Chains A and B, each alone.
Chain A
């Protein structure tokens, strides 16, 4: 049965899923399109030993030059890079990591769930760089309060202004002795720590936490394998009237009409769709009278394994008895009340106890190496830096006129590089991590400050930013296009700036807030 829908949602991940969850429960009829199929966890997944895989766990060579997260076990879940190409200047490689499945990247996310604070929302007030968000922490706090229980976030309350507390499943678990030593050493240096804050459960995805409730209302239809090509504009009203899409498998063309269109296709796919939606009104992309669409691309930089250490007492298999295991998080501590000379803003760390440092770090081979690895088995302590990246106008995406995907849709050219602010921060993070580890009595095995390429953190943000001024931003404070009243963009592309915090929790809270605003507007017939 074909029917009209109030709202068409493009994307089924964190933002699309939350939009559907919120709107359908308020009685709004929604149609959801997603570029990928739905997973069948029973039929498509099987336990296999690594030696049984064709490439012994190395993966098919060259299949994923930019998806370091893909393993040979789960390679089929990541978006194929040949079907979905993009380009960049070879001097500045960009690692664009995508999942095209119902549920999107919430099927594979790390689940870290940190709130942002006014150190991020009002960052210009602190250091004068860039722009403030059009909302403050207080605007979003009530939505964080509701998202955390839905995603069953565990954590410990700390009362830190740079990392606001939330509604947690209280994590009062005892820290292992190595973690206690690390925490003490950090404390003496004035560096706070906390427990991980993560969504719990077997799966913490749109697929199990958002979409089932939305479907149960009877107000949602989900169409998989629907690759959006263009959001179309009604020339008479200046509003959008639907989306043309192509079936992934049959390559048959369709059109879906609706009163309102929500784009939540992931940061860069959403912007790509708007850039590809050109008209006489908007020759440079839909709702782009500001010229800001595609600009201010940023993410978080990662220094993976910035320090690898060994806890000496745990050598020789003595890591048990509460000595090793567990981990935590160091929230941003730079540029809060003091001022660094070499960089603005700050970084955070994840730390973990009880791993084994990779063989690559040990300057040995043969039996010596195998004996050393056996000796330090489970005795490792490592940190990863996650740093703030400054949003800059010149870091941008545009449509590459010479490149199309497997469905004939123009692809993106991506241009982002890290700058001195990030480089200096990365160096500082290595030095501080080393100092804490040494003060805790750990042996340093390896240290470095090489950031992974832009994009690899899978925290790409910006390019369709919100703002109070329609001349410099695409969206208003409710993720609604300044130019087109019935167009909303609800994902990470709407971020004005970010901090070291993983962005998903904020994307969820923003999508919930904007969807409630939209439901209200629909009720008032203002859209």
Chain B
């Protein structure tokens, strides 16, 4: 509370126009000196807003700020409100990634596809922050998908049919082994399969489409310690 009041006091000192107008209005209504309308930190006098007399005189639309409590303001997560600005992958790589995402996790029943869950943009961000070997795995993998697709089907990966894409995604139909595929494309596809599924299931879009207790993805988060 002290900080809140102090902040209000400081901004009064700075004398922003909007604030001054409000202050003048308050002063004229309450017929009180400005200092009591906005008590300084440590003042013992009860805030005037609390006196029944003052409250009665105030029209409802002019109620003073609730100095007794710090309000919890509703905030909107940037990812929920705005389009992210991916920039790690080249436009060719990103187009291939978008196509790959929806092949790996398409929309099924009420659940969103990976692309609808913002996974391509998220992976652009995640891989940009990742250690170099993982960046190389993704960039080379997407390049190779495009190169293979152009060589065999005459079009980049984003433009071929599902049946044509299935030819290129064959490594994902091989039985699992601990060592994984021996070639780089296979290794990329196996990683992408897990990453895309996880990023989709952990998205707000997936949570919104989930019913019941499954899929809520709640956990006990620990803040950074001092």
Chain A residues packing against B (C-beta within 8 Å)? 37, 39, 44-53, 55-58, 60-62, 71, 73-77, 101, 249, 359-367, 369-371, 446, 448, 450
Query: Which residues 186-226 of B sit at the A interface, judged by CB distance below 8 A?
Result: 190, 193-195, 197-199, 202-204, 206-207, 216-226
Report which of A61, A249, A363, A367 forms a contact with B126, defined as CB distance below 8 A.
A61
B134 adjacent to chain A (CB < 8 Å): yes
User: Closest Cβ of chain B: how far from A363's Cβ, in Å?
Assistant: 5
Does A45 contact B104, Cβ atoms closer than 8 Å?
no
Report which of A71, A362, A367, A448 forms a contact with B108, defined as CB distance below 8 A.
A367
Task: Report the 5 A-B pairs with minimum CB-CB distance, sorted nearest first.
Answer: A50-B217, A61-B130, A51-B204, A448-B178, A73-B219
8 A-B pairs in the complex with CB atoms less than 8 angstroms apart: A48-B221, A52-B77, A56-B199, A56-B202, A58-B199, A61-B129, A62-B130, A74-B221
Interface string of B144-175 (1 = CB under 8 A from A): 00000000000000000000000001001111
User: Closest Cβ of chain A: how far from B82's Cβ, in Å?
Assistant: 15
- Chain A residue numbers with a CB within 8 Å of B202 are 50-51, 56-58
The winner among B106, B173, B225 for most chain A CB atoms within 10 A is B225
Provide the bound-state CA to CA distance between A55 and B202, in Å: 10
- Chain A residue numbers with a CB within 8 Å of B222 are 39, 44-45, 73-77
Q: A360-B194, A450-B178 are in contact. Are A48 and B219 (CB under 8 A)?
A: yes
Task: Tell me the count of chain B residues lying within 8 A, CB to CB, of chain A.
Answer: 44
Provide the bound-state CA to CA distance between A231 and B150, in Å: 67
> Which residue of B has the minimal Cβ distance to A100?
B225
Provide the bound-state CA to CA distance between A87 and B221, in Å: 30
> Which residue of A has the minimal Cβ distance to B107?
A367
Provide the bound-state CA to CA distance between A75 and B203, in Å: 20
B71 adjacent to chain A (CB < 8 Å): no
> Which residue of A has the minimal Cβ distance to B135?
A61
- Chain A residue numbers with a CB within 8 Å of B219 are 47-50, 71, 73
The winner among B122, B177, B178 for most chain A CB atoms within 10 A is B178
- Chain B residue numbers with a CB within 8 Å of A371 are 108
Provide the bound-state CA to CA distance between A366 and B189, in Å: 12
Does B198 contact A57, Cβ atoms closer than 8 Å?
yes
Provide the bound-state CA to CA distance between A48 and B104, in Å: 27
Can you name 10 extra interface pairs (CB under 8 A) apart from A58-B202, A62-B131, A74-B221?
A48-B219, A49-B207, A49-B219, A56-B202, A57-B217, A58-B126, A75-B222, A364-B173, A365-B104, A370-B111
- Chain B residue numbers with a CB within 8 Å of A39 are 222, 225
- Chain B residue numbers with a CB within 8 Å of A58 are 126, 195, 198-199, 202
Q: A51-B204, A57-B202, A370-B108 are in contact. Are A37 and B226 (CB under 8 A)?
A: yes
